[in-house]
Structure 1
Amino acid sequence: MKFVSEIDPDPYRLEKFIADGNPVVIRHAVFQETPFRKVLEDKNFLLAVIEEFLGDLEVPCVQVDGTCFTLMGFDNSHRKTLPKTKQVTLLRLRNYLENLSGCENGKSNSVHYVHIRDAGSLSSGFRSISANQKLLKPYVGLGPLNAWIGSGGHRVNTHFDKPENLYWVLCGQKIFQVFSPDMGKWLYPARAGVTTSGVTESIVNSAQPDIKKFPLYSKALQHAEIAVLDKGDLLYLPANWWHNVESKGLNISCNLWWERSSSKSNE
């Protein structure tokens, strides 16, 4: 098993990896210089602060049927290949957070998560507690600051995003399995027009890949890299890199997507 390269929380070294288009993990990156360090280190306090800043938002809650699922919405030809998302419900975030606490306390067996798009622009307070640090300041403002909150126990299937991606964990654990763009030929991408979001996704169930049915997938697995992100860790994932993401435990994460043409190194 190969792991993604790791570096110390040095903005100049991070900039070099971004310029070269290579993924990298920075341990303990998030809690280095934030004035809200105590908030971020206390999970319950963090949830309370998020509720204060964003609690009145209506957000789509994805409830998962199975441990591996797709966000993209396949047509009938792939329904037997990948489990389907069970339900998407619009909820106020404060109500979702109540459900999340119940799930953690053993009062619910459901697996679910929410994605708050552009949370940074919706609340300056949330932006301050999640991204107010020297390492991230050159990139905040280049694209949307998103929040991801979930119960854990699921995996988002293998896909790639076109923008550059900085992803960091405030609570819980995320495990990324990443593949370079040239491995797409081994990952069985869905044919054009099959997904409804414009994101290209593999039709292979990454939680339980059927190697007999998809033999080339084993080649991709041989060259895959793993990034295990715990609280405070950050991953830079270059544009067009394939990845699937496993969530463990109650988890809160943020990410920044931006186009390389808008990055400081390409002005």
Structure 2
Amino acid sequence: MVEVAGRIREIEVAADALPLDELVASGTPVVLRGLVRNWRLVQAGQRSMREAMEYLRGFYNGEPVTYSWGDPDVAGRPFYTADFTDINCEVRRSDLGTVLDGIAAHADDARPPTYYVASLLVDTRFPGLRADNDLDLAARGIDAPPSIWIGNRVTASCHYDAMSNIACAAVGRRRFTLFPTEQIGNLYPGPLEPTPGGQAVSVVDFSAPDFERFPGFRDALAAGQTAVLEPGDAIFIPSLWWHHVQGLDPFTVLVNYWWNSVPAYVPTPMHALYHALWTIRDRPEREKQAWREIFDHYVFGPADRAGGHLPEAARNVLGPVDEKLARQLRAMLIAKLNR
């Protein structure tokens, strides 16, 4: 694993004293040492891998789970095939016991097969688990149902998420390496589709980077920050920060919470990105620069600038977007795109 220049800021904090508003306002990553050390799952994992697995089995409702499986050559890194047109892992569906038994059977292997259950909503497969293993963000008015990630020494290649994130290391250690949004060009993102996990990922192999092919990655490393989370630790990852996550132990479980800073009726900007790739990117440079000015005026400047000189009743989409207006915008866009 390459070395990055910085270390992620750390604080020691208990779950009932989580400074959530301050974290979001800071817009920078923070390691939250000991945040979930009192979770029963964390304590089971500290006693043994077997006990942690049995603890999970005790809540599992028997419904099938979808997981990625890769032979030993995958080396724990779900990624693209050599031509970047497919993924190097198989997507399988079975009961959780198959996954846990496979991980346990290869726990001592130097090059085990890859097993990875990713982003599984806790409540859909583990009813009751949250009673003793939850941050209870709902009590703070945040709708962030937790997801669980179960695997062995799996690496989630560097990517970003559109939402804010608190990721909790429940079983096993994980190394997080983060980069600010402006490093996107130096991280060399792969295709938007397909992707190993729903988002475009950096195509740089962090374990053996090719600096001749990806020279800008040196600049990314200079801007990066890293930390190793022990079981019971957590990390706040601001929205749109790139993060590379490496499982360091034979059995790892992570629980994370994603949430939006805007109401649910505001859709993801990824829709706008695809639309802009389609409608703007390939226009003549003069037109692209003109559209940049237009977007700066309407979108990226102060929210009240474009309509501030108009009477409130005349602003329509130039004023605040509420749920009713969001429905109207959606209907209008669908109608225009279907012509």
Worse-superposed segment, 163-172 or 116-125: 116-125
Alpha carbons of 1:198 and 1:231: their partners in 2 closer, same or farther (altered >3 Å)? Answer: closer
Following the alignment from structure 2 to structure 1, what is the Cα–Cα distance between the partners of residues 40 and 197? 37
Count of residues paired in the alignment:
254
Larger radius of gyration: 2
Following the alignment from structure 1 to structure 2, what is the Cα–Cα distance between the partners of residues 113 and 246? 12
Aligned residue type for 2:33: R
Aligned residue type for 1:167: A
* 8 Å CA contact 2:157, 2:201 repeated in 1: yes
Worse-superposed segment, 93-102 or 184-193: 184-193
- Give the alignment of 1:252-267 within 5 angstroms: 252-261=253-262
Following the alignment from structure 2 to structure 1, what is the Cα–Cα distance between the partners of residues 20 and 144? 18
Following the alignment from structure 1 to structure 2, what is the Cα–Cα distance between the partners of residues 165 and 244? 14
Aligned residue type for 1:89: R
1:66 aligns with 74
Deviations 1:188-229 (A, max 9, x none): 223555648651322222332211011111100111000211
* 8 Å CA contact 1:121, 1:145 repeated in 2: no
| Higher share in helix | 2
Note the C-alpha offset of 1:93.
0.4
Following the alignment from structure 1 to structure 2, what is the Cα–Cα distance between the partners of residues 140 and 108? 44
Following the alignment from structure 1 to structure 2, what is the Cα–Cα distance between the partners of residues 239 and 226? 17
Q: TM-score normalised to the size of structure 1?
A: 0.82
Worse-superposed segment, 120-129 or 227-236: 120-129
Alpha carbons of 1:78 and 1:118: their partners in 2 closer, same or farther (altered >3 Å)? Answer: same
Determine whether 1:4 maps to 2:12.
Answer: no
The unaligned stretches of length 5 or more in structure 1 are none
Aligned residue type for 2:103: L
Partner SS, residue 85 of structure 1: coil
* 8 Å CA contact 1:171, 1:231 repeated in 2: yes
Q: TM-score normalised to the size of structure 2?
A: 0.66
Worse-superposed segment, 206-215 or 230-239: 206-215
Q: Which has the higher contact order (CA 8 A, sep 6+)?
A: 1
1:88 aligns with 91
Note the C-alpha offset of 1:45.
2.6
Identity of aligned residues (%): 22
Note the C-alpha offset of 1:122.
4.1
Aligned residue type for 1:86: C
* 8 Å CA contact 2:147, 2:255 repeated in 1: yes
| Higher share in strand | 1
Partner SS, residue 248 of structure 2: strand
The unaligned stretches of length 5 or more in structure 2 are 265-339
- The RMSD of aligned alpha carbons is 3.0
1:98 aligns with 101
Following the alignment from structure 1 to structure 2, what is the Cα–Cα distance between the partners of residues 140 and 173? 30
* 8 Å CA contact 1:63, 1:86 repeated in 2: yes
